[in-house]
Amino acid sequence: MVHPRVLRAMSTPLLGHLDPEFLTIMNQVQTLLRAVFETQNPFTIAVSGTGSAGMEAALVNLIEPGDQVIVGVNGVFGTRMADIVGRAGGRSVKVEAPWGQIIDLPRLEGALKQAGAVKAVALVHAETSTGAHQPLEDAGALCRRHGALLIVDAVTSLGGVPVQVDAWGIDACYSGTQKCLSCPPGLAPLTLSPRALETLKARKTKVQSWYLDMSMIADYWTEGKRAYHHTAPISMVYALREALRLVVEEGLEARFARHRRHSAALMAGLATLGCEPQAQAGHRLPTLNCVHVPSGVDEAGVRKSLLAEFGIEIGGGLGPLAGQVWRIGLMGESSRHEHVVTLLSALEQIFRRHGWAKQTGHALAAAHQSYATSA
């Protein structure tokens, strides 16, 4: 869901990409992004393109042919990172975990010790394909001890759960606009630490991608330089500024608490329908709620009914989880009480109709109970 203020911002008349008025808006976007990423990094920008452009930008700018990169692979997006590392000429060393589990820090440490020189460690903070919430508090220090950069995918976490770039020692962190920032798809927030910038500056080879070469794009985002590289997607920058203002107005802590509250209520309701969480206990995202479809239930049929009869879209499983799980986003503007109760009541009706549940009301009661006991 996108807030009406964001939609309205997108219909504002266009400015040129070098218009002083637009440059002011870019500066504001940078300031707001630093607040949301919890970083002081001067290099904090919005990359033109969706979240995957952010992923590609983070990887291709820091990796040179021959570099070893340790990639945590426990879902679709870790797999994608490893693919990009290879395309950039790097060698990915995968630290794998079953889908839904997190990547254990001791296993990462073992891989770092064994691999020899490692350029970077790449981890997905919020694995959207499984609902796993990767802990990162100690990952930066571990990487530093081994002289490796820490690259983090925060596409489904930024604006929904804490992402503390500076406190956690993250060197490159990217996100996307359409997940917890509740903005249309089209930009990828990206922040690079001074250490990452030094690595970029010290490259022996040119960045393999011209479009995503951050050494050139930095000059467009730097006050006093403002060198044209490619035309900025003007309306999207308006939208992102407004979406970030909404995040900051709500306050990060309040926003994270809201995500936790609605996720807890949804999961309590789903449990009464026999939907067990896919992600490891203690490491479940409130932004992406991934549950097993109870046996005997028509997975795709339920999603079809939800969309056709109730106007609710939930996700199916990706890759090896196709047909086995539902992925329910409660991100940004979508993390709301009415969405939780409407979905649970719709599911109860569908389950009852097909005889998968004997009666209705339990899921809603469990959600209400959760709301009553959460702060």
Ligand X SMILES: *Cc1c(COP(=O)(O)O)cnc(C)c1O
> Can residue 74 be called a binding residue for ligand X (CB under 6 A)?
no
Could you give the CA distance from residue 132 to residue 346 in angstroms, rounded to a whole number?
A: 26
Neighbouring-strand partners of residue 30? none
Could you give the CA distance from residue 36 to residue 281 in angstroms, rounded to a whole number?
A: 27
DSSP strand pairing (120-124 vs 325-329): unpaired
- Minimum Å distance from CB 38 to ligand X? 19
Given the complex with ligand X, which of 185 and 361 has the nearer CB atom? 185
Given the complex with ligand X, which of 188 and 347 has the nearer CB atom? 188
Could you give the CA distance from residue 129 to residue 151 in angstroms, rounded to a whole number?
A: 19
193-212 residues near ligand X, rule: CB under 6 A? none
User: DSSP character for 319?
Assistant: G
What length is written for the chain? 375
* Nearest residue to ligand X, by Cβ distance, number only: 51
Structure tokens at 40: 């002081």
**For the CA atoms of 73, 79, 85, 87, what is the dihedral angle to 10 degrees?**
160
- Minimum Å distance from CB 98 to ligand X? 17
Could you give the CA distance from residue 346 to residue 64 in angstroms, rounded to a whole number?
A: 51
- Minimum Å distance from CB 133 to ligand X? 11
- Minimum Å distance from CB 213 to ligand X? 19
- Minimum Å distance from CB 316 to ligand X? 15
Could you give the CA distance from residue 160 to residue 332 in angstroms, rounded to a whole number?
A: 6
Given the complex with ligand X, which of 151 and 268 has the nearer CB atom? 151
- Minimum Å distance from CB 197 to ligand X? 23
Given the complex with ligand X, which of 275 and 318 has the nearer CB atom? 318
3-class DSSP assignment, residue 282: coil
- Minimum Å distance from CB 176 to ligand X? 4
- Minimum Å distance from CB 85 to ligand X? 14
Name residues whose C-beta falls within 8 Å of residue 251's C-beta, 6 or more positions apart in sequence: none
106-135 residues near ligand X, rule: CB under 6 A? 124, 126, 128
Given the complex with ligand X, which of 56 and 348 has the nearer CB atom? 56
Could you give the CA distance from residue 86 to residue 90 in angstroms, rounded to a whole number?
A: 5
- Minimum Å distance from CB 317 to ligand X? 14
3-class DSSP assignment, residue 276: coil
Binding mask 30-59 for ligand X (x = CB under 6 A): --------------------xxx--x----
Given the complex with ligand X, which of 41 and 79 has the nearer CB atom? 79
Q: What does the angle CA 100 – CA 186 – CA 89 come to, to the nearest 5 degrees?
A: 65
- Minimum Å distance from CB 161 to ligand X? 12
Given the complex with ligand X, which of 52 and 349 has the nearer CB atom? 52
Residue 338 neighbours by CB distance under 10 Å:
8
Binds ligand X by CB under 6 A, chosen from 65, 185, 194, 361: 185
> Can residue 356 be called a binding residue for ligand X (CB under 6 A)?
no
> Can residue 140 be called a binding residue for ligand X (CB under 6 A)?
no
Nearest by Cα to 190 from 299, 21, 340, 55: 55
Handedness of CA 68, 70, 75, 81 (dihedral sign): negative
Given the complex with ligand X, which of 29 and 126 has the nearer CB atom? 126
150-179 residues near ligand X, rule: CB under 6 A? 153, 155-156, 176
Given the complex with ligand X, which of 71 and 363 has the nearer CB atom? 71
Nearest by Cα to 339 from 271, 229, 263: 263
Given the complex with ligand X, which of 51 and 317 has the nearer CB atom? 51
Nearest by Cα to 139 from 126, 129, 127, 148: 148
Binding site for ligand X (CB under 6 A): 50-52, 55, 77, 124, 126, 128, 153, 155-156, 176, 185
